[in-house]
Structure 1
């Protein structure tokens, strides 16, 4: 009984030390904490958005057009009399939702393909990498504009266009890790023990790609938000009257000299979110780097 109690106490102490060590490491990256606070505050704002939005973001009131900030309209109104604050809040939900869908889809597409090509190799690897090299030969935004323009302007086609260019990053990352790991001694020992392909991938290789994929995904969220906003600004994404930050930039463009806040507010939102994602990604890259442990 005493031995069992000592074992449990030792395990609890080890867990406590590990947690303390993690938080000490986290405090070494204050910019990451700042980015995390900004990003998760925005997430909470989006979740509670329906209770915080003071007005209908789609309601057109020409009598209130281009109005100044007031108690009823905290940031004023746009060229159609719609509440800018309400549209920014609804746009946050739209933009972050699209970024979440894209990042989830690219991970579920790119990671399995990268695992398969890296582990199996041969003709399958050669074929897939030729496709990857072909898609990745041009800048992402150019390919996304071409695909979205070919499919037509809509949110669904916007998602397809961005996913079509983002999955290749995960294939390349995962494949490079698998190629490095598959020839190591522990893999040879697992093969000699008679473990199958599925076991080798799931138990031996998958743990090595989790941290790099998390870091890449955190950095990619900011890039995806920029692409979403850019395509919507060009008229290839969200269509009027859908509140989306890039579309709001386009709506405010004709009024930039007289009412610059119509473009400044959504531009600041995009900048702050992208900056927070980059701070989180840079911090995670350093925090999860084995050389810093």
Structure 2
């Protein structure tokens, strides 16, 4: 192993060492990992069908067979929360991936190429961004019809503009710096400039924005499902479970408290992770 390899390993180690020294990142990761483990392992010990209706078991209190009780249709609340976690987090993950795939290339194209294409795309971005995200999402979801697929399309339609704006602003700043001029003078092509010179400056801000966006997306999914525009019965989505428990809040408040706590913990952990990543990945605070 050469001295260069040893130095590179030390540099990487010094970069990741502060990860456990960022309290927000540590706490947020611990909460999210614990929650995911409960969701994955819990159903192995409580083998109840989250969709099976048993009217004879409706509104049962917590017991060995039903750790969190049952809902108004006799379905196990615990297994429905676990299944809803897979549904909600899975949809949020798909939305984040698709918005990054759409937003990052468009932002790179707008910032690096400029011209009429940049003006056209930014006018579209400004038009969509003129209204609050939730209002646009409700309008698109209502127009397409209530379903989880249409909800996914509606959220993607409003989230991609943030990534276009972020990436474009970074590219506009970086393309005027001396190292870009030097790369152009050396004869490097456009693809090399984007991949080797600009993309490394974009990854960290996009990761931070995506980690913070997951919490927002989960709130939008739950809100629209609560309004009946998202997941449809009998899908065990957290927002839909809140809506199911609304008529029973004064008698069986647990039906709304449990899914509300799940939403709160996941959103809080995502926000803590985003804040921690912002401290960890901020170039000005790196100690390499």
Normalised by the size of structure 2, how large is the TM-score?
0.95
CA 1:20–1:187 in 2, change beyond 3 Å: closer, same or farther?
closer
SS in 2 for 1:76: coil
Larger displacement relative to structure 2 (189-198 or 70-79): 189-198
Match of 2:260 in 1: 267
Which residue is equivalent to 1:177?
A: 170
**2:273 counterpart SS class:** helix
Residues 49 and 124 of structure 1: CA distance in aligned 2, closer, same or farther (over 3 Å): farther
| Alignment partner of 1:289 is 2:282 | yes
Aligned to 1:279: 272
Q: Pick one of 45, 62, 70 that aligns with 1:77.
A: 70
Q: Contact 2:98 / 2:156 at 8 angstroms: preserved in 1?
A: yes
CA contact (8 A) 1:88 1:266 kept: yes
Q: Tell me if 1:37 matches 2:30.
A: yes
Q: Distance in 1 between matches of 2:271 and 2:93?
A: 16
Alpha-carbon distance change, 205 to 141 in structure 1, aligned in 2, over 3 angstroms: same
Is the CA contact 1:60–1:80 (under 8 Å) kept in the aligned structure 2?
yes
In the TM superposition, what whole-angstrom CA distance separates every residue of 1:20-51 from its partner, at most 9, and x where no partner exists?
A: 42344123212211111221233344455653
d(CA) in 2 for partners of 1:161, 1:263:
25
User: SS of the residue aligned with 1:216?
Assistant: helix
Which residue does 1:116 correspond to in 2?
109
1:94 matches 2:87: yes
Tell whether 2:170 aligns with 1:190.
no
Runs of 4+ in structure 1 over 6 Å off: none
2:13 and 2:94 mapped to 1: Cα distance? 34
User: Cα–Cα, structure 1 residues 14 and 47, in superposed 2: closer, same or farther, change >3 Å?
Assistant: farther
Counterpart of 1:4 in structure 2 is none
Q: Which residue of 2 aligns with 1:134?
A: 127
Alignment of 1:123-162 (within 5 A): 123-162=116-155
Q: Which moved further from structure 2: 240-249 or 9-18?
A: 9-18
Equivalent in the alignment of 2:231: 238
Q: State the number of aligned residues.
A: 286
Mapped partners of 2:185, 2:230: distance in 1? 52
Find out whether 1:51 has 2:52 as its counterpart: no
Gapped runs of 5+ residues in structure 1?
1-7
**CA–CA distance in 1 between the matches of 2:18 and 2:187?**
40
In the alignment, the residues of structure 2 paired with residue 48 and residue 243 of structure 1 have an alpha-carbon distance, to the nearest angstrom, of 18
- Equivalent residues of 1:49, 1:90 under 8 A apart: no
Query: Which stretch of structure 1 is more off in the superposition, 48-57 or 112-121?
Result: 48-57
